[in-house]
Amino acid sequence: MSKAVIIGGGFAGLAAAETLRGKLDVLLIDSKPTHDFLPMLPDVIGERADPDLLEHELADRCRRLGAAFRLDPVTSVDLTARRVVTETGEADYDYLIIASGSRTSFYGRDEIREQARKLDDVADARTIADTVRKNDREAYVVVGGAYTGIEVATNLRAFFGKHPPDRRVVICELHDRLLPALPERFQRYVTENVKRFGVELRLEDTVDEIDDGSVRLASGEQIDNAAVIWTAGVRTPDFVRDLDVPKSKQGRLEVDQCLRVDERTFAAGDSALFVHDGSPLRMSIQFALSQGARAARNILRIERGRIPGPYRPHDPGYIVPMANNRSCGRILGVNCYGRTPTAAHYLMCILRSRGLSRRLKMFADLRRIL
């Protein structure tokens, strides 16, 4: 039986493993023992989600899928020899799916990375939540005014609305507006909402230096006794960036219409740069799930001597969740504002979660926060 190696136990990797179940010898490799439910990490900060519900043991999930699991960071991939090299060994393959996702990028600013908090997984969410609950900081500076930064900032405001004394929450964004990739109507709505909620905005500004809790912005403003949460960008893992193939500035692998990097290598999710209608698809769960499944189906087509099929993305839309439930987004071609997109966001999270007990607990939380 041919062997497929999947690097990454996120949404794309697990969708691929499920599609290949019982059809190939599958090995899934990840540097973490858990699949973390990323869409709700900011809600942990605002006490709107139980972090225990957002972690799934990969070893258990792989067992159910009939796949082997190796907890081991990947250090390199030899596409010519068809070999994955990890910190403790090697794994040869007939087919490879790179679905290793993305992580926070500090753009080489090691001095910032050492003092700022990131939000890549449940452990990070717990760390930030613990810092917030100590309530010994007078301000929280969120770097990045895209989806995650806005979710984090509004969840901080939601927390301090329930647990005085109140604290400053500041968003720093290098662009001259929040959510620069979205239509102007959503930019205006989000900007007005976060201001009304008590979040301060520093546009065309960023953190220049952190010195023992004192934060100096590029504009010269100084914010004392502050914690910095960095959400300003993402990048792929080092082994992906080291591959000698075309990729984006973020390190996403350029793939063809069948999600191939080469004849036996596929990429899916945040690892893949797929161009649709002249533009790269954004990083999102719905695309990760469908790409992981399509990459696996194409491997099965090759096994049967057939030509791989093209990936045809279906975009149900996007939502900007905000913790005062005044969210916004575009769902199935319709612009939505307020509680409707908030409810839609959490309902989709529940549907994409695993296990009836987990879903029921998440639904109970949904009823409480709405």
pTM here? 0.94
Q: Is the pLDDT of residue 16 over 90?
A: yes
Q: What is the pLDDT of residue 308?
A: 97
Check pLDDT > 80 for residue 312: yes
179 with 214, same domain: the answer is yes
- Do 18 and 52 belong to one domain? yes
The answer to the question of residue 281 being in a domain is yes
Let me know how many helices (H) and strands (E) the chain has, helices first. Answer: 11, 27
In a domain, 347, yes or no: no
Q: What is the mean pLDDT of the chain?
A: 95
Domain co-membership, 159 together with 171 = yes
Kindly state whether residues 78 and 30 are assigned to the same domain: yes
Instruction: Give domain status of residue 185, yes or no.
Output: yes
Is the same domain home to 149 and 262?
no
Q: Are residues 288 and 194 in the same domain?
A: no
Query: How far is 133 from 136, CA to CA, in rounded Å?
Result: 8
Q: How confident is the model at residue 152 (pLDDT cuts 50, 70, 90)?
A: very high
pLDDT band at 354 (very low <50, low <70, confident <90, very high): confident
- Pair 62, 172 in one domain: no
The verdict on residue 291 lying in a domain is: yes
Q: Can you give the pLDDT at residue 204?
A: 97
Work out how many domains the chain is built from and give that number. Answer: 2
* pLDDT of res. 196: 97
How far, in Å, CA of 370 to CA of 362, rounded?
A: 12
Residues 6+ apart with CB under 8 A from 245: 79, 253, 254, 261, 262
Q: Does some domain include residue 325?
A: no
Average pLDDT over residues 316-342: 96
Q: Are residues 242 and 95 in the same domain?
A: yes
Pair 201, 168 in one domain: yes
Residues 254, 271, single domain; the answer is yes
pLDDT value of residue 369: 79
pLDDT of residue 121: 97
Last residue of a domain, one of 205, 232, 259: 232
Is the per-residue pLDDT at 366 higher than 80? no
CA distances from 91 to 29, 63, 78, 125, 364 (A): 10, 19, 10, 32, 43
Task: Answer yes or no: do 203 and 246 share one domain.
Answer: no
Residue 123 lies in a domain: yes
pLDDT of residue 253 exceeding 90: yes
Q: Is the pLDDT of residue 231 over 80?
A: yes
Determine if the peptide bond prior to 165 is cis (ω within 30°): yes
pLDDT (average), residues 243-267: 96
For residue 43, what is the domain's CATH number?
3.50.50.60
State residue 358's pLDDT score.
Answer: 86
| pLDDT tens digits, 95-138 | 999 999 999 999 989 899 999 999 999 999 999 999 999 989 99
Question: Do 111 and 221 fall into the same domain?
Answer: yes
Coil, strand, or helix at residue 111?
helix
Domain assignment of residue 149, yes or no: yes
d(CA 29, CA 102): 15
Residue finishing a domain among 232, 248, 283:
232
Question: What mean pLDDT is predicted for residues 224-240?
Answer: 96
In a domain, 366, yes or no: no
Q: Which of 270, 295, 314 is the last residue of a domain?
A: 314
Task: Give the pLDDT band (50/70/90) at residue 213.
Answer: confident
User: What tokens were used for 200?
Assistant: 């301060």
Q: State mean pLDDT over 331-342.
A: 96
Domain region containing 73: 3-102+236-314
Q: What pLDDT score does 367 carry?
A: 75
